[in-house]
């Protein structure tokens, strides 16, 4: 049928060409800002199958989406995820298949991921101190993650980026060490302000908030930072800086202090197949219902996605009071 557009445009004339697709809500870590210690995960039958995830990817790429980020939970612990990634790597028009991972599986998977067509990796790393790493992730092993980062570099991944969530009183003292770790490896690093997603039990978010401006001043005591325009045209909420004596870039993701909504080009799909039009709002459309209906067709899925563009909100609603406004945990939506 021909009544579908070839690109997705919302009612504020923003072109949506980037999808973050969560392939699992489960994880081998329990980071304190992301999950509660005891989590109830989505029952398996409610989780999209690998084939359903593929159909969603196909629908979006046929609607002009050129970038898909696989996330979670930890995307690389989903059973048989490589079979999905290999198929997605062949999708026409998908210029950038990228992944956000905690790095725990990269020693094993970095080379196969590159081979399957994954273009770039974002790897989360909040601290370089083994005990602190264990306390922030509750289950993670720092050596394994660093070996995973080095495996990605050795496999040939370019422009790998580390993501660090900084919490006051926990790891704010490590900003410079993390920058120097990235510089040693000639990779990029972004600092992320904690977002009020999900009711967590570990700390009071109003007290742990650490602003990007504060971190930037700290880094500038050692490295001079020069603001970059966005070379890719796709940095979204990240503001990047270069350093004269290094190839590494330092980014700051500041959902609180920076209103980037007018540039928003992205939507998210949860592992239950809910299309979320905005990370900071609850507007969503149930794609699983369509995928599982007896008269399913790719056309119907695409129609629902096109129609959903009309409810993409103009702005998100976070503030930095630490109040949880969105009850979804980050592992439900993916970062
Ligand atoms: N498990 C993978 C990982 O950790 O990279 C992918 C999923 S994780 C939800 C994606 C990103 O979201 C990570 O970089 C993580 O640090 C970040 N994140 C999780 N909870 C957050 C929160 N409440 N505020 C800000 N960033 C958060
Ligand atoms: Fe898992 Fe990533 Fe959430 Fe940490 S941030 S608990 S690694 S999903």
Domains along the chain? 8-333 (3.20.20.70)
The answer to whether residue 247 scores a pLDDT higher than 70 is yes
Q: Is the CB of 98 under 6 A from ligand 2?
A: no
> Hey, is 123 helix, strand or coil?
strand
**How does DSSP classify residue 153?**
H
Closest ligand (CA of 69)? 1
Nearest CA owner, ligand 2 atom 8: 73
pLDDT tens string 27-74: 999 999 999 888 999 999 999 999 999 999 999 999 999 999 999 999
Q: Quick check: 238 pLDDT over 50?
A: yes
Atom of ligand 1 nearest to the CA of 165: 16
pLDDT at 15 over 50: yes
* Shortest-distance ligand to the CA of residue 75: 1
Residue 152 β-bridge partners: none
Token pair, residue 335, equals 């970062």
pLDDT of residue 314: 85
| Cα 139 to Cα 148: distance, rounded to the nearest angstrom | 16
CB of 75 within 6 A of ligand 2: the answer is: no
β partners of residue 239 = 252
Closest residue (by CA) to atom 26 of ligand 1? 194
- DSSP string of 66-104? -EEEEESS-GGGSTTHHHHHHHHTT-TT--EEEEEE-ST
**Residue 236: band (very low, low, confident or very high) from pLDDT cuts 50, 70, 90:** low
Confidence label for 333 from pLDDT (cuts 50, 70 and 90): low
Does 273 contact ligand 2 (Cβ within 6 A)?
Answer: no
Rounded Cα gap, residues 31 and 61, in angstroms: 32
Residue 208 Cβ < 6 Å to ligand 1: no
Angle, vertex CA 147, rays to CA 120 and CA 87, nearest 5: 35
pLDDT score at 232: 45
Pairwise CA distance, residues 334 & 270, whole Å: 7
Average pLDDT rounded to a whole number, residues 322-328: 50
pLDDT band at 226 (very low <50, low <70, confident <90, very high): very high
Query: Which residue has its alpha carbon closest to ligand 2 atom 4?
Result: 31
Say yes or no to pLDDT of 140 above 60: yes
The tokens for 222 are 């050692």
Name the pLDDT band for 202 (thresholds 50, 70, 90): confident
For ligand 1, whether the C-beta of 163 sits within 6 Å is yes
For the CA of 331, the nearest atom of ligand 2: 8
Say yes or no: CB of residue 104 within 6 Å of ligand 1: no
pLDDT at 292: 98
User: In ligand 1, which atom is closest to the CA atom of 196?
Assistant: 23
pLDDT 10s digits, 144-166: 999 999 999 999 999 999 999 99
Which of the pair, 76 or 279, is modelled with greater confidence? 76
Mean pLDDT (whole number) for 185-193? 96
CA 37 to ligand 1 centroid distance, Å: 15
pLDDT level of residue 227 (50, 70, 90 thresholds): very high
Does residue 229 surpass a pLDDT of 80?
A: no
Q: Tens of pLDDT along 88-137?
A: 999 999 999 999 999 999 999 999 999 999 999 999 999 999 999 999 99
Assess whether the C-beta atom of 192 lies below 6 angstroms from ligand 2: no
- Whether 24 lines ligand 1, by a CB cut-off of 6 Å, is no
**Signed CA dihedral, 12, 13, 14, 17: sign only:** positive
d(CA 123, CA 180): 16
Model pLDDT, residue 264: 87
Q: Which ligand has an atom closest to residue 125 CA?
A: 1
Output the CA 200–ligand 2 centroid distance in Å: 13
- Kindly report, residue by residue over 301-324, the tens digit of the pLDDT: 999 999 999 999 887 765 545 454
258-286, pLDDT tens digit by residue? 467 888 899 999 999 999 998 766 678 99
């Amino acid at each position: 049928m021909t009544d579908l557009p070839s690109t997705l445009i919302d009612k504020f004339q923003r072109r949506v060409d980037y999808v973050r697709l969560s392939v699992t809500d489960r994880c081998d870590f329990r980071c304190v800002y992301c999950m509660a210690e005891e989590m109830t995960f989505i029952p398996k039958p409610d989780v999209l199958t690998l084939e359903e995830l593929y159909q969603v990817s196909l629908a979006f790429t046929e609607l002009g989406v050129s970038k898909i980020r696989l996330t979670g939970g930890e995307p690389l612990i989903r059973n048989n995820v490589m079979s999905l990634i290999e198929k997605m790597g062949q999708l026409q028009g998908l210029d950038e298949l990228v992944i956000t991972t905690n790095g725990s599986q990269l020693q094993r998977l970095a080379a196969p991921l590159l081979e399957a067509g994954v273009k770039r990796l974002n790897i989360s790393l909040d601290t370089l101190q083994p005990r602190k790493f264990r306390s922030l992730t509750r289950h993670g092993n720092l050596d394994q993650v660093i070996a995973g980062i080095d495996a990605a570099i050795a496999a040939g991944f370019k422009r790998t980026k580390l993501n660090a969530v900084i919490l006051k009183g926990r790891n704010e003292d490590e900003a410079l060490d993390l920058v120097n770790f990235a510089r040693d490896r000639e990779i990029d690093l972004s600092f992320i302000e904690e977002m009020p997603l999900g009711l967590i039990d570990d700390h009071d978010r109003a007290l742990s908030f650490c602003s990007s401006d504060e971190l930037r001043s700290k880094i500038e005591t050692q490295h001079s930072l020069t603001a970059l325009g966005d070379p890719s045209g796709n940095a979204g909420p990240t503001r990047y800086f270069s350093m004269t004596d290094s190839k590494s870039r330092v980014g700051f993701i500041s959902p609180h202090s920076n209103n980037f909504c007018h540039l928003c080009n992205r939507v998210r799909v949860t592992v239950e197949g809910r299309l979320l039009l905005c990370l900071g709002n609850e507007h969503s459309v149930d794609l699983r219902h369509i995928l599982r209906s007896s008269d399913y067709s790719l056309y119907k899925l695409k129609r629902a996605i096109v129609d959903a563009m009309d409810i993409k909100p103009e702005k998100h609603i976070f503030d930095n009071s630490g109040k949880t406004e969105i009850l979804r945990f980050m592992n439900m939506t993916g970062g």
